[in-house]
Amino acid sequence: MAKKLHDTPNLDELEKGPWPSFVTGLKRLAQDNDMAVDLLGQLETSYQTKKGYWKGGTVGVFGYGGGIIPRFTELKDEKGEPIYKDAAEFHTLRVQPPPGMHYNTDVLRKMADIWERHGSGLIAFHGQSGDIMFQGATTDNVQGAFDEINELGFDLGGAGPAVRTSMSCVGAARCEQSCYDEAKAHRMVLNTFVDDIHRPSLPYKFKFKFSGCPNDCMNSIQRADMAVIGTWRDNIRTDEALAKKWFARHGMNELVNDVVARCPTKAFQLKEIKDVKKGEHISSVAVSDTHAVEIDNHDCVRCMHCINVMTGALSPGKDKGATVLVGGKRTLKIGDLMGTVVVPFMKLETDEDMEQLVDLGQRIIDFFAENALEHERTGEMIERIGLVNFLDAMGIDVDPNMVASPRMNPYVRTDGWDEEVAKIKAKQQAA
């Protein structure tokens, strides 16, 4: 039995309604956990005053410099004593999830048992960076909790100016759109940087994310310093039986308005079967006895829309790999940045391919560590120095796939032009 609950009239309102209630969960914990009782007390105070009451600090585990998010209460009485003393220390352990966030019930139960012994009993699946967040341990209990989580085969994630915890989509495990082995890439890359995860010493955070196709379910383009997004080079594959089944169910209006008209580059056309073009870069499939769709794969930008709508009838090609984009981030400090293309396509099939990806990550992080200003993300660094300088340092040749358009102003010194043209020609001849 825990101590008596504090009155929580505001939080009680969040027990009403049909969606699962975190307040109900906290109250259940509070039946036998004083920390949960006092957490509810402090949270209710925040709901009344509209203020937060946590401050950071320095708490860690032996051997690591990061991965714990320390929280000490600032809600104190006139003597400086915590008002809610059993939640006065409420630290979080960030723990890296398995790729695709797969679990069996055995491991989840073990995590729950560990957190019942050492913590508040509150776990978030998952935080915005992908961590399993074991929320609410006292300073004394952090080490014991980590030791058991670590023995279970899990490791702390990143915090502060470090390589951060990563996420990958369900991908090859269950998705037909998967263009590479996301889990393998995720593990190979991240496990190369365990030192940079556990011992924060970069200018600022660095995030990798892995999405298996351009639907980018991991939101990597917007929030990863290095986004690895699956794509393919050859033709969209077709399945006539499934195409006809789709058409029989959805009809001509939907095919024309929802698929043909929504193709961003108009690569997707509807034709009478007799008029369908043949050619190396053409995919086509009959949807009825009279009509077929025709896709000019040279014009296709692999946006995924037609494949999403006509799943099974259409699917990504076989020559798969990934596009790598660098520099995505949200507002602070210079404004939002999407990641931009630095490698239009790389194969990710063999171990050697994967090592190339790891090597690229390594070189980008090394350059970032050397050249970024304090608290500057990769996107801001590239904005400051220019993409070309970044590519030079990476030893990557410029490619028109990296730009939305060529330069729109004349403010550039071009006296090296002939030399550059000669280099390009020499490379073309050598190839």
Partner 1 sequence: MAQTQLRRPVESGVPDNKQFMHPVLLKNYGNWKYHDRPRPGVLHHVAHGGDEVWSVRAGTQRQMDIHTIRKLCDIADRFAEGHVRFTIRSNIEFMVSDETKVAPLIAELEANGFPVGGTGNSVSMIAHTQGWLHCDIPGTDASGVVKSLMDELIDEFRQEDMPNRVHLSTSCCEINCGGQADIAIIVQHTKPPKINHDLVANVCERPAVVARCPVAAIRPALVNGKPSLEVDETKCVCCGACYPPCPPMQINDPEYSKIAIWVGGKNSNARAKPTFMKMVASGLPNNPPRWTEVGEVVKKILYTYKADARPWERLSDWVERIGWPRFFEKTELPFTKYLVDDWRGSRANLNASTHIRF
Q: Which stretch binds partner 1 (CB under 8 A): 151-159, 267-275, 281-289, 413-421?
A: 151-159
d(CA 319, CA 55): 51
d(CA 255, CA 424): 44
Q: Which stretch binds partner 1 (CB under 8 A): 96-104, 351-359, 393-401, 423-431?
A: 96-104
Among candidates 223, 210, 230, 224, which has minimal Cα distance to 323?
230
Q: Which is nearer to partner 1, 278 or 333 (CB)?
A: 333
Candidate list 260, 281, 286, 312; residue touching partner 1; CB under 8 A: 312
How far, rounded to the nearest angstrom, does the alpha carbon of residue 409 sit from its chain's CA centroid? 35
Shortest reach from residue 401's CB to partner 1, in Å:
13
299 binds partner 1 (CB under 8 A): no
Cβ within 8 Å of residue 90, ≥6 positions away: 35, 39, 54, 71, 72, 73, 120, 135, 136, 137
Shortest reach from residue 243's CB to partner 1, in Å:
11
Length of the chain equals: 431
201 binds partner 1 (CB under 8 A): no
6 binds partner 1 (CB under 8 A): no
Distances (CA, A) of 326 to 121, 206, 336: 38, 11, 13
d(CA 302, CA 322): 11
Tell which positions 218-257 bind partner 1, by CB under 8 A.
218-223, 229, 239, 242, 254, 257
Candidate list 54, 76, 139, 393; residue touching partner 1; CB under 8 A: 54
Tell which positions 63-92 bind partner 1, by CB under 8 A.
63-64, 69, 71, 90, 92
311 binds partner 1 (CB under 8 A): yes
Q: Which is nearer to partner 1, 124 or 369 (CB)?
A: 124
155 binds partner 1 (CB under 8 A): yes
Candidate list 140, 195, 275, 299; residue touching partner 1; CB under 8 A: 195
Q: Which is nearer to partner 1, 39 or 360 (CB)?
A: 39
Shortest reach from residue 67's CB to partner 1, in Å:
9
28 binds partner 1 (CB under 8 A): yes
| Residue window 391-420: x/- pattern of binding to partner 1, with contact defined by CB under 8 A | ------------------------------
Cβ within 8 Å of residue 205, ≥6 positions away: 158, 160, 161, 162, 164, 225, 377
Round to the nearest angstrom and report the end-to-end CA distance of the chain.
75
305 binds partner 1 (CB under 8 A): yes
50 binds partner 1 (CB under 8 A): yes
Which stretches of 192-328 are DSSP H helices?
194-198, 220-223, 240-254, 305-309
Distances (CA, A) of 237 to 245, 271, 316, 318: 16, 18, 6, 8
